[in-house]
Amino acid sequence: MIALLATVLLLFQLVLVARVVVDWVGVLSPAGGARTGGVRRVTHGLTEPVIAPVRRLLPPLRLGGLGVDLAFTVVFLAVVVLRSVLLAY
């Protein structure tokens, strides 16, 4: 059971990484948003239900024209820590 939960957390962690990559491709590439639309919908659809409640408690940090999503960082770190704790047993 613990191994299954650790695997689910690993898959969720990979989807979080894919979300970051897709978002950055959309930002850095002029036509990136058009090319990554389907993948973006899937990654956001899977991760947003977990990130949104954290974002309500911890809104994005504005640094000039740059916004840092602290909620994403907190969720990612929580998944890493939880997975590490599970794998320790």
pLDDT tens digits, residue range 12-68? 999 999 999 998 888 787 776 677 788 999 999 999 999 999 999 998 888 888 888
Residue 72: burial class (beta carbons within 10 Å; 0-12, 13-18, 19+): buried
Query: 59's torsion region: left (phi>0), alpha (psi -120 to 50) or beta?
Result: beta
pTM for the model stands at 0.87
